[in-house]
Structure 1
Amino acid sequence: MSENSYIYAVARIRTKEMQLLNASFLEQLLAAPDEAQCLRLLQERGWGSGSAEEVLTQEHQKTWDLIAELVGDMSVFDVFLYQNDYHNLKAAVKEACTAGKHPGIYMQQGTVPYTRIQKAVEGRNFSLLPERMRVVAEKAMNTLLHTRDGQLCDCIIDKAALEAIEQAGKDSKEELLALYGELVVVTADIKTAVRAQKTGKDRAFLERSLASCDTLDIVALTDAALTGFSAICSYLEKTPYAEAVPELKVSAAAFERWCDNLLIHRIHPQLHNPFGIGPLAAYILARESEIKTVRIILSGKRNDLSEASIRERVRETYV
């Protein structure tokens, strides 16, 4: 895509950024008495109508429709969809190893149609898959068939997904996409290490699960997880992710929120970048973040959670 085309695309994105939800509007949602009122407020802001899930799905699709309109080659953003591909691979492998069909378990948007993944796994014709997925698909399938260990199957596919995201970010030669890939792996590795420590997993599990990245030493993280939670915190305090430690000490939910906020903080400079693919990629991530936040608020209202309880889970905004 030419530089001039990017200039036009970024100009369009600047107008769309003005429609992103800000902190003030989120306060209105938090103060709303129920889910129905939240949906009315969102509709007044130009969001769709229908049930909560229908509205969120519509908004997700709007984002990708806009990007498709602005960018001729959508493959540059494939890295954002890899997690869906590997989720669908897990679903297909487990479906193939059990009786019956479960269509509701698949995600619609990915770089590979989920029906092709189904067909490849069912027929064990892994050549139907992209090269990056072939080996892991066969390995996961054989593992589940021979061990019936669903968690081991998940570990194999999850690690492959992280490695694919990290590599795709680097291969893109785009700073923001490389940053995205790195942060996805970092936050996943920290979550895995903490869960493994709390559940008493062994070194073999950690070695199967943690994916390499540039800003964490996964050998040191593995050693820390095998030592104890305090050791994990001590290790992280020596890394660029020291700010994660207080959140980990609060709760898993607090850490999840910190992870999402970290990404928003790191992409924020794209608001002032007039060129390139960065502002478009940042807009996609900002939209995904605000949709997640709205989902959290709507779910909280639906389940009669207190405003304070919902507020603890709300993510920071891009604008």
Structure 2
Amino acid sequence: MAKDQYVYAVARIRSKELSLLSGSVIEQLLGAKGYDECLQLLREKNWGDSDAEDAGAILAAEREKTWQLIGELVKDLSVFDVFLYANDYHNLKAAIKEARMDSEYPGIYIDQGTVDVKRIREAIRTRDFAALPEAMAEPAKEAYEVLLQTGDGQLCDIIIDRAALNAIYQAGKAVGDECLKLYGELTVASADIKTAVRAARTGKDKAFLARALAPCDTLDVSRLAQAAVEGVDAICAYLELTPYAEAVEELHKSPSAFERWCDNLLIRKIRPQRFNPFGLGPLAAYILARDNEIKTVRIVLSGKLNHLPEESIRERVREMYV
């Protein structure tokens, strides 16, 4: 891949970075008197569109703007499939459970993915698993059969979640861009750690963990599984030997504190892309920065809507890219 292939795209991204929300803007949102004032501040930053009246519509419009821009800049959007696989596998999970209930729940699907929602629903409805992408077909069949034969929704979720993580991990490596590779690695590692902690707290055995944990470079999943069987303290002791040693303190606080730490780590790792004039990295970083600010705005708006104290909301707010 020629490094100068995306020079124009990176130049456009540089101009768009100027409109990303900064930490000071997030402080303004946190200091707002209420939900409505937050919405007004966002509208002043040109968030949403003419039809977006509530938080959900505004955030959806912002996600759409991100991908519309990337679509204008990159001819082959498949290089960014790594960011969309989670949506695909969410939709697969939804379709299987919809089939199990023999009812339709169209509102549970996410439109932004690499596989058309109708294709997924039809494949599951007709049990034509071969109609799905190759990487999705086998876990879809396995999860479907598990749910229908045993009714074990958790096992169904595990099968699909691990398949999603494998897809994300492999896609992150396949493109050959360090930013995408980093995203895949951190996504899988953080998911594995969260799974291990939940398993330790609920007394899951090693067989469960072997099925649930997805391999990645920065964790030895066999050691993580053994630690989870021994307990949360053993997990923390193992993590002290990994690149995630700093996460131990956050794990002791709460799952949400750990998730915040993971998101902040990713933002810190990709921040140097602001000064990279070549390649896919700056575009990938922009997508992640937008996702991060949308997530943060959602946290603030949800807190304001539910009248949570400012400090309670602040504890969950992510670092900004700019």
Fold conserved (TM > 0.5)? yes
Count of residues in correspondence between the two structures: 319
Q: What residue is the counterpart of 2:254 in the other structure? A: 251
Q: What residue is the counterpart of 1:36 in the other structure? A: 36
Q: Please tell me whether the aligned partners of residues 5 and 279 of structure 2 are also in contact (alpha carbons under 8 angstroms).
A: no
**Which stretch of the first structure deviates more once superposed, 95-104 or 267-276?**
95-104
Q: Does 1:136 align with 2:139?
A: yes
Q: Does 1:290 align with 2:306?
A: no
Q: What residue is the counterpart of 2:314 in the other structure? A: 311
In 2, distance between residues paired with 1:2 and 1:73?
A: 14
Q: What residue is the counterpart of 2:170 in the other structure? A: 167
After superposition, the C-alpha distances for 1:48-71 in whole angstroms (9 at most, x for unaligned) are 241010000000000000000011
The DSSP-based 3-state class of the residue aligned with 1:116 is helix
Q: Does 1:99 align with 2:111?
A: no
List gaps (5 residues or longer) in structure 2: none
Deviation of 1:99 after TM superposition, in Å, equals 2.3
Taking structure 2 as the reference length, what is the TM-score of the superposition?
0.97
In 1, distance between residues paired with 2:269 and 2:189?
A: 14
Which amino acid is the alignment partner of residue 46 of structure 1? N
Taking structure 1 as the reference length, what is the TM-score of the superposition?
0.98
After superposition, the C-alpha distances for 1:104-136 in whole angstroms (9 at most, x for unaligned) are 111111000111000001111112111110111
After superposition, the C-alpha distances for 1:19-44 in whole angstroms (9 at most, x for unaligned) are 00001111100000111100101111
After superposition, the C-alpha distances for 1:75-118 in whole angstroms (9 at most, x for unaligned) are 10011000000000011111111121111111111000111000
In 1, distance between residues paired with 2:239 and 2:319?
A: 23
Q: What residue is the counterpart of 2:124 in the other structure? A: 121
Q: What residue is the counterpart of 1:25 in the other structure? A: 25
Which amino acid is the alignment partner of residue 32 of structure 2? A
In 2, distance between residues paired with 1:57 and 1:40?
A: 17
In 1, distance between residues paired with 2:162 and 2:232?
A: 22
Which amino acid is the alignment partner of residue 41 of structure 2? L
In 2, distance between residues paired with 1:117 and 1:199?
A: 32
In 1, distance between residues paired with 2:188 and 2:269?
A: 15
Distance 1:79 1:287, change over 3 A: same
Deviation of 1:3 after TM superposition, in Å, equals 4.7
Q: Does 1:6 align with 2:6?
A: yes
Which amino acid is the alignment partner of residue 205 of structure 2? D
Pick the aligned partner of 1:226 from 215, 229, 232. 229
Pick the aligned partner of 1:89 from 89, 92, 108. 92
Q: Please tell me whether the aligned partners of residues 264 and 319 of structure 2 are also in contact (alpha carbons under 8 angstroms).
A: yes
Q: What residue is the counterpart of 1:75 in the other structure? A: 78
In 2, distance between residues paired with 1:231 and 1:219?
A: 13
In 2, distance between residues paired with 1:198 and 1:3?
A: 47
Deviation of 1:4 after TM superposition, in Å, equals 4.4
Pick the aligned partner of 1:268 from 256, 271, 275. 271
Q: Please tell me whether the aligned partners of residues 4 and 279 of structure 2 are also in contact (alpha carbons under 8 angstroms).
A: no
List gaps (5 residues or longer) in structure 1: none
Which amino acid is the alignment partner of residue 96 of structure 2? V
The DSSP-based 3-state class of the residue aligned with 2:101 is coil
List, as ranges, runs of 4+ consecutive aligned residues in structure 1 with deviation greater than 6 Å. Answer: none
**Which stretch of the first structure deviates more once superposed, 165-174 or 83-92?**
165-174
In 1, distance between residues paired with 2:104 and 2:110?
A: 15
The DSSP-based 3-state class of the residue aligned with 1:72 is coil
In 2, distance between residues paired with 1:177 and 1:164?
A: 13
In 1, distance between residues paired with 2:92 and 2:236?
A: 33
Pick the aligned partner of 1:184 from 184, 187, 211. 187
The DSSP-based 3-state class of the residue aligned with 2:215 is coil
Deviation of 1:170 after TM superposition, in Å, equals 1.1
Deviation of 1:2 after TM superposition, in Å, equals 6.0
Pick the aligned partner of 1:202 from 171, 185, 205. 205
In 2, distance between residues paired with 1:274 and 1:28?
A: 31
In 1, distance between residues paired with 2:117 and 2:162?
A: 20
Q: Please tell me whether the aligned partners of residues 91 and 109 of structure 2 are also in contact (alpha carbons under 8 angstroms).
A: yes
